[in-house]
């Protein structure tokens, strides 16, 4: 019965989102209602206002009117970010992946043995990304269970939707102490999952996280695949990021036909799997991703910063493989999904320069990757990704013409032009409010 659903907020103005048939729809002068449970109950043209008010029992005075040029976009989905690497974001991008891991990353991640250090950094990264419009983040933490549990607690407290992973790695350590035994890795993963699930955070879920093939023994990969399957859990890792890494995986697994084949063999490629990078995947490997329903997280800032490669997103889309965008902090130096949008466009343009007849991605397609695509990549499309009725209201209120803002709006601009300016030039100053599951989480509560 409709009358028992309490409407807690009604917004009237412009809504910009992606659908399956259109990379960007601009719904001007629309009216959207959110239930007590934080779900979108209706989204209709404003001509329906009187009918909606009667049907859902709200008054015209209950409506929040967006100001001139303001619009809502769906909350952005960062499909790959290392919360622990936020402490050195913006530094140390002067060497390729494997050297970078040993020189900067593993020594930095070791510090999270101390939960006080974790608490400081994790509060900062959750706030920074949330105020930049990331309503959902898929996080790598470190090998430390208690610090990783703290990340889940902090995301819940501040109000970000998150998948949180305790990193697993039992071989090839180069940094003394930053390694676990196989048994520790498996037992601590179980403890992490059961503790996090017991806490029943509404928007925070655990994700199985083998670091990548180079860091995991056969036994560890096998056990993690088994745990994921038995508990129907999400899975994340890295794949085919740079060519040196791909070569080493070939040598480690001479019987496997590809990097993808290794994860597939250990039941780590499922419809709840997201693999970061995939710059050097072959068409055959993309076919396996498609068959398994596994997804790719495209992290263009990281791929350029570490000179890893240029992912051909057009080819991934042709293979009907799910794909979203990731910041990959701190292989990527920006925490903002707007940066990921811009770097994804740059990458597509670099491929266009290299390849005659290449079909460059449009800014609208890349906007879809940052929102609906991300929701698909994290197997959360039923809950988030756009403003369809029945989904949670995860949204960013964008105010383009703020005083001293990062760009200017002129009288002759169309809404479409203003949205394009925001995507290319905007920043967190324009993101005046952020909502997760109907709750206003930016400005921050305290």
> Exactly one of 9, 18, 79, 105 binds ligand GUN (CB under 6 A); which one?
105
The 5-44 site mask, x for binding ligand GUN (CB under 6 A), equals ----------------------------------------
Using the rule CB under 6 A, which residue among 144, 161, 166, 238 binds ligand GUN?
Answer: 238
Secondary structure class of 435 (helix, strand, coil)? strand
**Given the complex with Zn ion, which of 185 and 236 has the nearer CB atom?**
236
Tell me the number of residues near ligand GUN by CB under 6 A. Answer: 11
- The secondary structure of residue 46, as a DSSP letter, is G
In the complex, the smallest distance separating the C-beta of residue 170 from ligand GUN, rounded to whole angstroms, is 14
Per residue in 295-320, is it b (16+ CB within 10 Å) or e — as a string? bbbbbbbbbbbbebbbbbbbebbebe
What's the rounded Cα separation, in Å, for the pair 417 and 21?
21
Write the binding mask 151 to 190 for ligand GUN: x where contact by CB under 6 A, - elsewhere. ----------------------------------------
The residue from 223, 241, 312, 392 that contacts ligand GUN (CB under 6 A) is: 241
Should residue 212 be labelled a site residue for ligand GUN when binding is judged by CB under 6 A?
yes
Q: Which of residues 237-276 bind Zn ion (CB under 5 A)?
A: 276
Q: Does position 109 bind Zn ion by CB under 5 A?
A: no
Of 97-105, 198-206, 256-264, 346-354: span binding ligand GUN (CB under 6 A): 97-105
Minimum gap (Å) between residue 381 Cβ and Zn ion: 23
Q: Which is nearer to ligand GUN, 149 or 306 (CB)?
A: 306
* Distance in Å, CB of 51 to Zn ion, minimum: 48
Q: Which of residues 363-402 bind ligand GUN (CB under 6 A)?
A: none
Residues 274-333 that bind Zn ion (CB under 5 A): 276, 328
For the chain, the residue count is 446
Would strands 204-210 and 161-165 be described as parallel, antiparallel, or unpaired? parallel
The minimum distance between CB 241 and Zn ion, in angstroms, equals: 8
What is the C-alpha separation between 201 and 248, in angstroms, rounded? 39
82 interacts with ligand GUN by CB under 6 A = yes
Question: At its nearest, how many Å lie between Zn ion and the CB of residue 134?
Answer: 15
Instruction: Pick the closer one to ligand GUN by CB: 101 or 313.
Output: 101
- The DSSP output letter for 391 is S
Beta strands in 127-203, from DSSP E residues, in sequence order: 134-140, 161-165, 167-168
What is the spatial distance between Cα 239 and Cα 211, in angstroms, rounded to a whole number? 10
CA dist 236 and 274 (Å) reads 5
Residue 72 falls in which region: left (phi positive, over 0), alpha (psi -120 to 50) or beta = beta
Strands 167-168 and 161-165: unpaired
Q: Does a cis peptide bond (omega within 30 degrees of 0) precede residue 224?
A: no
Site for ligand GUN in 292-351 (CB under 6 A): 302, 328, 331
Among 17, 166, 179, 211, binds ligand GUN (CB under 6 A): 211
Q: Which does 130 bind (CB under 5 to 8 A by kind): ligand GUN, Zn ion, none?
A: none
Structure tokens belonging to residue 26: 């601009």
Complete DSSP assignment for 405-424: -SS---TT--HHHHHHHHHH
# of chain residues touching Zn ion (CB under 5 A): 2
CA distance 167 to 144: 8
161 touches, from Zn ion, ligand GUN, none (C-beta below 5 to 8 Å by class): none
Q: DSSP H helical segments within 334-382, as ranges?
A: 337-354, 363-368, 374-377
Find the helix or strand (DSSP H, E) in which 151 lies. helix 145-158
Of the candidates 405, 398, 439, 429, the residue with the CA atom closest to the CA atom of residue 68: 398
328 vs 365, which CB is nearer to ligand GUN? Answer: 328
72/289 with CB nearer ligand GUN: 289
Residue numbers at the binding site for ligand GUN (CB under 6 A)? 82, 97, 101, 105, 211-212, 238, 241, 302, 328, 331
Q: Tell me which residues touch Zn ion (CB under 5 A).
A: 276, 328
């Amino acid at each position: 019965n409709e009358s028992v659903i309490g409407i807690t907020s009604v917004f009237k103005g412009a809504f910009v989102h992606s659908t399956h048939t259109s990379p960007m729809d601009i719904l001007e002068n629309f009216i959207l209602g959110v239930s007590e449970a934080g779900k979108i109950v209706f989204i209709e043209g404003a001509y329906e206002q009187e009918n909606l008010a009667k049907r859902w029992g709200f008054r015209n005075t209950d409506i929040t009117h967006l100001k001139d040029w303001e619009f809502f976009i769906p909350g952005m989905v960062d499909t790959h970010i290392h919360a622990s690497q936020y402490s050195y974001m913006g530094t140390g991008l002067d060497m390729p992946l494997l050297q970078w891991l040993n020189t900067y990353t593993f020594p930095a991640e070791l510090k999270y043995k101390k939960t006080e250090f974790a608490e400081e950094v994790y509060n900062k990264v959750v706030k920074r990304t949330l105020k930049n419009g990331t309503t959902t983040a898929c996080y790598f933490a470190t090998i430390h269970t208690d610090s990783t549990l703290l990340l889940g607690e902090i995301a819940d407290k501040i109000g970000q939707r998150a998948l949180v992973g305790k990193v697993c790695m039992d071989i090839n350590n180069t940094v003394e102490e930053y390694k676990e035994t196989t048994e520790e890795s498996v037992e601590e993963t179980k403890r992490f999952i059961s503790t996090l699930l017991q806490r029943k955070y509404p928007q925070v879920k655990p994700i199985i996280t083998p670091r990548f093939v180079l860091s995991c023994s056969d036994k560890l990969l096998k056990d993690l695949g088994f745990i994921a399957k038995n508990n129907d859990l999400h899975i994340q890792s890295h794949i085919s990021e740079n060519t040196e890494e791909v070569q080493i995986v070939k040598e480690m697994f001479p019987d496997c036909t590809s990097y993808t084949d290794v994860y597939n063999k250990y039941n780590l490629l499922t419809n709840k799997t997201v693999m970061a990078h995939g710059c050097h995947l072959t068409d055959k490997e993309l076919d396996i991703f498609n068959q398994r329903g596994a997804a790719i997280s495209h992290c263009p800032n990281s791929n350029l910063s570490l000179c890893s490669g240029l992912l051909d997103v057009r080819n991934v889309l042709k293979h009907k493989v799910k794909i979203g965008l990731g910041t990959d902090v701190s292989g990527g130096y920006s925490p903002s999904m707007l940066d990921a949008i811009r770097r994804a466009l740059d990458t597509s343009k670099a491929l266009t320069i290299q390849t005659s007849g290449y079909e460059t991605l449009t800014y609208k397609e890349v906007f879809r990757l940052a929102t609906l695509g991300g929701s698909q990549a994290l197997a959360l499309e039923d809950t988030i990704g756009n403003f369809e009725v029945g989904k949670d209201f995860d949204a960013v209120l964008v105010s383009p013409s703020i005083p001293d803002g990062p760009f200017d709006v002129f009288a002759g601009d169309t809404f479409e032009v203003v949205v394009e300016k925001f995507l290319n030039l905007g920043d967190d100053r324009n993101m005046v409010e952020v909502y997760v599951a109907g709750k206003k989480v930016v400005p921050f509560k305290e």
